[in-house]
Structure 1
Amino acid sequence: MKKHIVMSMLLIAALLALSACTAVQPAAQQPGAAPAEGSGKLAQIKAAGKIVVGTSADYPPYESIDADGNFVGFDMDLIRAIGERMGVEVEIQDMPFDSLIAALQEGKLDAVIAAMQATAEREEKVDFTIPYRMTKDAFAAAQNSTLVMEKPEDAAGHSIGVQTGTVQERWVQENLVATGLTPADKVFSYERADQAALDVANGRIELLLMDAEPAMELAKQTGLKILLITESTAEGGKSIAIPKGASDLKAELDRIIQEMLEDGTIQRIQEANGLP
């Protein structure tokens, strides 16, 4: 009798041991399982303790580098304030404007802030936050220019500079070149907006089309004059670009931007940088 009891106990123990060995692993450890909670882009940033942000620092008063090598401007102050509310440090990387989207897609950046507008073409590659500021464009010319502009189409036929990869470049190509109003060889694309401004000031090209506030700042620095400020060449407000599908990061940034719009923080940062 005792022998049977012992055998039964050994069998139960063996079954229990086998059950423990074959227990289902947590879903996060199984191939193809849904990611564990807290493994999204926002969680990665929080775990790293910093957000890596790309910009093109040739666009005052939005982003530029001062004499001491510091990133300054409205966008720079804004992203630092956002980082503070997220509880992370902000690491800023400078690169050409037309490289920013690719760097974001390749995972080299967590976000991009560069006075960028959310266009349909860009939204095929990355996602965007809600706008943090609405936008206008400006046409600038040399101080001695006799050109008069009442509408954007008045730029037709004149040599014009734009920054590569911008909404303004696309507007010129679609509305002036594709329509036959301006020959393609009269459109000049620049990696940096300040290079275009210098060429206008030196008479190499007649016009420059870019965001209104940076155009006005460059006009002061290079002796240009503003011929026209318009909304019709713009496509919307300025937003922060983030990786495609980073819904948790978008939700957090949208929440913070909306909060800062409502509590007046963004307005104060604008005013501190000379923006209306």
Structure 2
Amino acid sequence: MAKVKKSGKLIVGTSADYPPYEAVDADNKFVGFDMDLIREVAKRMGIKVEIKDMGFDSLITALQAKKIDAVIAAMQATPARKKKVDFSTVYHKIKDAFLVKKGSKIKLNSPHDAAPYKVASQTGTIQEKWVKTNLIDTGKMDKDRYFSYERVDNAAMDVANGRVEVLFIIADPAKKLAQKAGLDIALVTGETVGGGQSIALPKGADALKAEIDKAIESIKADGTLKKLMDKWELQ
């Protein structure tokens, strides 16, 4: 917190390939629910925010290496991640979705029904961990049928082109991605969700966490969070 106050800005890492949470617009500006939220958090802390784009799977490493002060990237505060970093209070609860090619005959009544297909998700995500733990490690899916992508938009393109059959991501971005890439949503579920979305912080950054938590709670209390959710059409 002392470093942040001295510099007057919070350096935040994200993976800007996940609308409506984080993306880059035609003017090369960071836009999305998370981007609006972190700017509002910084405003209420009386500081500026600098956003850096990087691969999702490198965000926690960058935080540990002190290249950034925080991470906001639709990230869930799971027990495994809590061993490496600390997290703010939860700012949004989510569901997951499975996307398939437009007109596909694939029917999913449960996340486990994806096991016979070629499944993709984003590297380092809870969705990837769920597939490995619940499908591959249990023997339901051959490991060669799972495909990990650094960028979720590339995964969507491969589903549309038939290279993979199912894309497993968070439900809110799934709606926009389905429209953009010409995909169908085969299933929306809460069964695979590990926890709510939070801002990741360095281990032991208690003062910084306290300030960010205070800002988030005030954003919730005065209705600003609800306005942002409505703006970006979040559930």
User: Which residue identity does 1:249 align to in structure 2?
Assistant: L
User: Which residue identity does 1:209 align to in structure 2?
Assistant: F
Paired with 2:184 and 2:116, the residues of 1 have a C-alpha distance of: 19
1:85 to 23, 38, 44: 44
Cα distance per residue 1:180-200 (max 9 Å; x no partner)? 111000000000001100000
For the residue of structure 2 that corresponds to 1:149, the secondary structure is coil
User: Which residue number corresponds to residue 106 of structure 2?
Assistant: 147
For the residue of structure 2 that corresponds to 1:146, the secondary structure is coil
Paired with 1:45 and 1:152, the residues of 2 have a C-alpha distance of: 42
Cα distance per residue 1:31-70 (max 9 Å; x no partner)? xxxxxxxxxxx12111110000000000000000001100
Report which structure shows greater RCO (CA 8 Å, sep ≥6): 2
Percent identity at matched positions? 55
Query: How much does 1:215 deviate?
Result: 1.1
User: Which residue number corresponds to residue 167 of structure 2?
Assistant: 208
For the residue of structure 1 that corresponds to 2:214, the secondary structure is helix
User: Which residue number corresponds to residue 227 of structure 2?
Assistant: 268
Cα distance per residue 1:208-265 (max 9 Å; x no partner)? 0000011111100000000110111111100000000000111111111111111111
Q: Which structure has the larger Rg over C-alpha atoms? A: 1
Report the TM-score, using the length of structure 2 for normalisation.
Answer: 0.99
Query: How much does 1:274 deviate?
Result: 2.0
Q: Size of the alignment, in residue pairs? A: 235
My pick for the range that moved more, 256-265 or 106-115, is 256-265
Cα distance per residue 1:168-191 (max 9 Å; x no partner)? 000000000011111000000000
Report the TM-score, using the length of structure 1 for normalisation.
Answer: 0.84
Query: How much does 1:157 deviate?
Result: 1.4
1:231 to 177, 185, 190: 190
Unpaired runs of 5+ residues, structure 2, are none
1:59 equivalent in alignment to 2:59: no
User: Which residue identity does 1:105 align to in structure 2?
Assistant: Q
1:250 equivalent in alignment to 2:209: yes
For the residue of structure 1 that corresponds to 2:147, the secondary structure is strand
Cα distance per residue 1:3-58 (max 9 Å; x no partner)? xxxxxxxxxxxxxxxxxxxxxxxxxxxxxxxxxxxxxxx12111110000000000
User: Which residue number corresponds to residue 219 of structure 1?
Assistant: 178
User: Which residue identity does 1:154 align to in structure 2?
Assistant: D
For the residue of structure 2 that corresponds to 1:189, the secondary structure is strand
Paired with 2:44 and 2:153, the residues of 1 have a C-alpha distance of: 33
Structure 1 runs, 4 residues or longer, greater than 3 Å off: none
1:138 to 97, 101, 124: 97
Paired with 1:125 and 1:157, the residues of 2 have a C-alpha distance of: 33
Paired with 1:145 and 1:171, the residues of 2 have a C-alpha distance of: 23
